[in-house]
């Protein structure tokens, strides 16, 4: 009987696995055509000065509007794009479009682009970025690339060379999701980071988990010690903002300041020096 049950469980498991594999294949297959079919688009999320709410720039986030599945979140297709190598084509598309867009802005706001491990380690990545910057006319100083620590582990030497070349171009290098990877501290010493992004999992737990508050405080102290600006991601409430302000955080990003939206919804932020967060909210957070 146990044997029977075991077999049943196994069959169930096998079927579930099969479905998962088919699902992945189907996503990979559709992703191949997504660029050509115009199914990919970009949304932009403001990054702001904590004190004033002034917009400093935007992070670009990829969106896939699948004809049948609808909006597929990055978490459901970026890993597949990375494993299949498609991220190279897709990443280049993101970089080119983001730079093209930012080059038209009337204010020299920064533009932060997420770059995956495979891209950073690919042949001639810094050269590709240089080409895009030249072709779009964007000043390289306005371009920021966000990389996670996992981008450094596969081939640290290659990653270092690529980051050094990018820095020579004038590009800013931000460590994304700081605290969620591994050996973060030695990475800060070994790689030429210009900026640290505290992961939103810490930010969103500052009032529920004392550990998270301690970690956020420590990262802010680390930034001060290293002379690196720290930006907090995933700021959703005035209470979180208030905590960050008290602890000396200077830059913020999160739903409280603005959700990621298509560029046409942001023209006022780009053209005028509009304060994203209503003053009243800033004061409430004091």
Residue 144 is a binding residue for Mg ion (CB under 5 A): no
Length of the chain measured in residues: 286
Residues 69 and 27: their CA atoms lie apart, in Å, by: 10
Structure tokens at 223: 């930034």
R_g (Cα) of the chain, nearest Å: 21
Among 44, 234, 277, 282, binds ligand C2E (CB under 6 A): 234
Among 114, 116, 122, 204, binds Mg ion (CB under 5 A): 114
Residue nearest to Mg ion (CB): 146
Of 12-41, binders to ligand C2E (CB under 6 A) are none
Residues 165 and 186: their CA atoms lie apart, in Å, by: 20
Structure tokens at 40: 């990919």
- Structural contact between residues 20 and 27, judged by C-beta atoms closer than 8 angstroms: no
End-to-end Cα spacing for the chain: 65
Name the residue nearer to ligand C2E (CB basis): 4 or 55: 55
Among 30, 82, 144, 146, binds Mg ion (CB under 5 A): 146
Residue 177 is a binding residue for ligand C2E (CB under 6 A): yes
Structure tokens at 105: 């802005």
Among 61, 232, 252, 270, binds ligand C2E (CB under 6 A): 61
Among 30, 92, 176, 251, binds Mg ion (CB under 5 A): 176
Scan for tokens 């301690």, then name that residue: 214
Q: Where along the sequence are the contacts to ligand C2E (CB under 6 A)?
A: 45, 61-62, 73-75, 78, 91, 94, 114-116, 146, 176-177, 200, 233-236, 254-255, 260
Binding site for Mg ion (CB under 5 A): 114, 146, 176-177, 233
């Amino acid at each position: 009987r146990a044997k029977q049950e075991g077999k049943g469980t196994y069959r169930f498991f096998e079927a579930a696995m099969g479905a998962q594999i088919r699902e992945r294949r189907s996503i990979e297959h559709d992703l191949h055509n997504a660029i050509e079919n115009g199914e990919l688009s970009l949304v932009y999320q403001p990054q702001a000065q904590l004190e004033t709410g002034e917009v400093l720039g935007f992070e670009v986030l990829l969106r896939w509007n699948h004809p049948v599945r609808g909006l597929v979140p990055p978490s459901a297709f970026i890993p597949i794009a990375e494993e299949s190598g498609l991220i190279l084509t897709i990443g280049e598309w993101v970089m080119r479009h983001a730079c093209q867009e930012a080059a038209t802005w009337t204010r020299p706001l920064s533009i932060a682009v997420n770059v995956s491990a495979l891209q950073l380690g690919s042949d001639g990545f810094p050269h590709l970025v240089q080409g895009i910057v030249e072709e779009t006319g964007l000043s390289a100083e306005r371009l920021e690339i966000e990389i996670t620590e996992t981008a450094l582990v596969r081939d640290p030497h290659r990653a270092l060379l690529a980051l050094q070349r990018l820095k020579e171009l004038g590009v800013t290098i931000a460590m994304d999701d700081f605290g969620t990877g591994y050996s973060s501290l030695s990475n800060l010493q070994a790689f030429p980071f210009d900026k640290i992004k505290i992961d939103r999992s810490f930010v969103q737990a500052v009032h529920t988990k004392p550990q998270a508050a301690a970690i956020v405080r420590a990262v802010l102290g680390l930034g001060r010690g290293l002379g690196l600006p720290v930006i907090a991601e995933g700021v959703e409430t005035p209470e979180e903002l208030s905590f960050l302000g008290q602890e000396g955080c200077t830059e913020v990003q999160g739903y409280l300041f603005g959700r990621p939206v298509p560029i046409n919804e942001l023209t006022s932020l780009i053209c005028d020096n509009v304060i994203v967060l209503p003053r009243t909210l800033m004061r409430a957070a004091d």
